């Protein structure tokens, strides 16, 4: 049995759920059009991160998967910021409306680095509230991905 359909389906579901984090933290859900770009970018990010992680998850124990989960938070944040930068640029070109990640220049890599840094900072500073949530969610999501592909071993 092939892993690809399961991994892609998992990525779409997980990414749609994870799109709430940047949507809430950066108030990207205020406008319907922007909310749709966040959801689309989240789903694409979920697929990309799931595809990057599933092979290593086949080879590691539960502890290794938890470690990969912690690493997946900045990885996912980076991929999301790059993806939403591209999606916002395309949406702005199609609709003529201004989108946050396309304003003032197109810097997807810089946005990705910033989002990855912020994800780690939020995770390391628990009194911000999100620190208690983001890393455990990343670990749990990664463990769920491992469980999704592990029956196929």
The pLDDT assigned to 152 comes to 57
**CA distances from residue 134 to 17, 63, 147, 149 in whole angstroms, order as listed:** 12, 18, 20, 23
Place of tokens 């909310």: 35
Host domain of residue 110: 4-152
Confidence check: pLDDT of 26 > 80: no
Confidence check: pLDDT of 30 > 80: no
Q: Average pLDDT over the chain, rounded to whole?
A: 87
Mean pLDDT for the stretch of residues 22-39: 78
The pLDDT assigned to 24 comes to 72
Residue 68 burial (CB < 10 Å; 0-12/13-18/19+)?
Answer: buried
Confidence check: pLDDT of 87 > 80: yes
Q: How many structural domains are present in the chain?
A: 1
Distance CA 76, CA 46 (A): 8
Distance CA 46, CA 50 (A): 6
Residue 3, both tokens: 């892993």
C-alpha gyration radius of the chain: 16
pTM of the model: 0.89
Residue 122, both tokens: 């939020």
User: Residues of 34-48 as b/e, b for ≥16 C-beta within 10 angstroms?
Assistant: beebbbbbbbbbbbb
Distance CA 151, CA 138 (A): 21
């Amino acid at each position: 049995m092939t892993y690809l359909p399961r991994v892609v389906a998992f990525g779409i579901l997980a990414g749609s759920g994870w799109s709430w984090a940047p949507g809430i933290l950066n108030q990207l859900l205020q406008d319907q059009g922007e909310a749709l770009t966040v959801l689309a970018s989240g789903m694409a990010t979920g697929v990309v991160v799931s595809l990057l992680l599933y092979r290593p998850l086949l080879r590691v124990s539960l502890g290794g998967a938890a470690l990969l989960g912690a690493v997946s938070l900045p990885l996912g944040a980076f991929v999301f910021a790059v993806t939403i930068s591209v999606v916002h640029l395309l949406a702005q070109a199609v609709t003529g409306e201004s989108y946050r990640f396309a304003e003032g220049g197109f810097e997807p890599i810089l946005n990705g680095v910033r989002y990855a840094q912020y994800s780690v900072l939020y995770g390391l500073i628990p009194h911000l509230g999100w620190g208690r949530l983001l890393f455990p969610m990343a670990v749990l999501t990664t463990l769920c991905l491992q469980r999704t592909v592990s029956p196929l071993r």
